Amino acid sequence: MKGLMQEHPLNIPMLARHAERLHGSRTVATKTDAGMDLTTYGEVVARARRLITALRKLGVKADDRVATFCWNHSRHLETWIAVPGMGAIVHTLNIRLFPDDVAYIVRHAADSVVIVDLSLWSAWEKVAAKLDGAIAKTIVINDTGAALPPGTLDYDELIAAEPESEFADVPEGNAAGMCYTSGTTGHPKGVVYSHRSNVLHAMMSANVDSIALSERDTALAIVPMFHANCWGIPHTALMQGCELVFPSRFMTPDALTQMMVDRQVTLGFGVPTIWLGTFEPMKAAKAQLTHLDRLVCGGSAVPPALQKAYHREFGVRVIHAWGMTETNPLASLCRPLARHAELSEDDLDNVLTSQGRVLPGVELRLADDEGNELPWDGQAVGEIQVRGNWIAADYYNDPSGAEKFIDGWLRTGDVATVDADGYIRITDRTKDLVKSGGEWISSVELEGLIMSHPDVAEAAVIAVAHPRWDERPLACVVPRPGTTLTKDAVIEHLRGKVANWWLPDDVVFIEEVPKTSVGKFDKKVLRDRFKDYRLPESGTASTPETVREPAAT
């Protein structure tokens, strides 16, 4: 029997109207050179309605792609409402990719209009030079006060005198947004998000056992709006009416800390490198951060030392989230169960550095190399595969999706165990595992343990060739400034915490671990740098030695 319920589309216009009516007076703050630019959800939605009118006059139609090349700020939020609100598709471009990659993405997505921050104009010019006029109109957000480039349209002037348009009646299955992967192998790949998937993801994020974003929060959205759909934060914020803080281009640890102080932030969103960088400035401002309640961390594994440090210093637990561009992005999130109240602090820290439990709306399984499903016993190791209401079904116009999406399941490439309570512990990416003598070594686990050493700032572990064991681990370590760290100190710190055969055969000290465009450790750069590295004949060193550069052959 059919359910006797009204059918109403779950779409971005629904979220915008809800924010406009119920949260119209709530603040949206953006960092500027002069301080903080303050607006409200009501004003943001009204400006989005005027932007719809302006874009239609420029010829933008339903299903057209409108690209953004912007930092996180309130005008970027307006485009997130206006473009899907008129039935078009907002396409956030990664401002940190190489120009060739961005140009490929623009052409592949067939973007017709681009909205660019003036502070990013020099970067955009390099992209535009490779597009052969593919973009019909360029709209510039003047975030610096300088003169606009010739032939461009001023964002604020464009919408200033326009009347407000009604939102389109967009079917929930239609595309609302696009993000491209960062292209670690081959070309970047497009992921298209539907209106329905965005709304359902927002509802999940507000769940009390999820992120629990609420009207009472002040949320600092550090994760870029071009990175994995900004973790869904803008959509959940529209729904819940939290105060929203955008850092724009002011991304230094000191600037982020001051924003948290000035706006009395309760909840922050960022990758591990962000929270590693802000720890010392936040520690110095501890007395002014009494409102801070929780931090959400994703993009890569949370180092156990980071979890412990924030809890020890601020009484704040880092909420570990896992997902990817293809999962819109959250698929699991780490929150304790009621029975975990009986655990010691160390045991609870250990639980909270896992990737947590799969979220409602997503199904997860572990599979071996032959595709057989593995048990959730905390021992079996297999690839995570997921499906669900906000999980991508394919890549946009890219045949390589046939290898990634199998029988309705997304093959994530992450290797993990899942225990009987459903807690996921990722041991590595398939490409980052070290295969030594036919057995696997987790680079992620070694990195977390190395970074728990008080003299270590960052660490990445990669596989290097070995004549007998096929591969062995090499630890690439960044010492903290002012410390004297030795190879033996790193190895001895690991000894007894992992099996002896897991111990790295060598340690090299580097100035910085390379990062991807979204702040993750970029191990492919390290693998290339050390591809000819010769390990010591005797394996792990037994005498102190400090190496600043690889002794490559």
537 included as an active-site residue: no
> Of 395, 272, 382, 397, whose CA–CA distance to 326 is shortest?
395
CA pair distance 126, 367, nearest whole angstrom: 43
Which residues contact residue 252 at a Cβ distance below 8 angstroms, ignoring those fewer than 6 apart? none
388 to each of 140, 233, 391, how far by Cα in Å? 37, 19, 5
Contact predicate 130/121, CB 8 Å:
no
Active-site annotation holds for 520: no
Taking CA atoms, 40 is separated from 25, 27, 29, 414, in Å, by 6, 4, 8, 40
Residue of 547, 539, 476 whose CA lies nearest to 505: 539
Our answer to whether residue 524 is catalytic in this structure is no
Q: Which residues contact 14 (CB under 8 A, 6 or more apart)?
A: 8, 199
Tokens representing 163 are 């009347």
> Could you give phi then psi for residue 291, rounded to 5 degrees?
-80, -15
Q: Which of 43, 184, 404, 440 is catalytic?
A: 440
Catalytic residue among 40, 138, 181, 325: 181
Catalytic option among 61, 435, 497, 531: 435
- Structure tokens belonging to residue 237: 């914020």
The SS3 of residue 458 is strand
Rounded Cα–Cα distance for residues 439 and 437 (Å): 6
Tell me, yes or no, if 545 is annotated catalytic.
Answer: no
Q: For residue 524, how many other CB atoms are within 10 A of its CB?
A: 15
Strands (E) in 187-323, as ranges, are: 190-194, 218-221, 243-246, 267-270, 294-297, 317-323
Residue type present at position 446? L
Instruction: Say how far apart CA 540 and CA 525 lie, in whole Å.
Output: 23
- The number of residues making up the chain comes to 553
78, 172, 243, 326: the active-site residue: 326
Instruction: Give the amino acid at 121.
Output: W
Catalytic residues: 181, 326, 435, 440
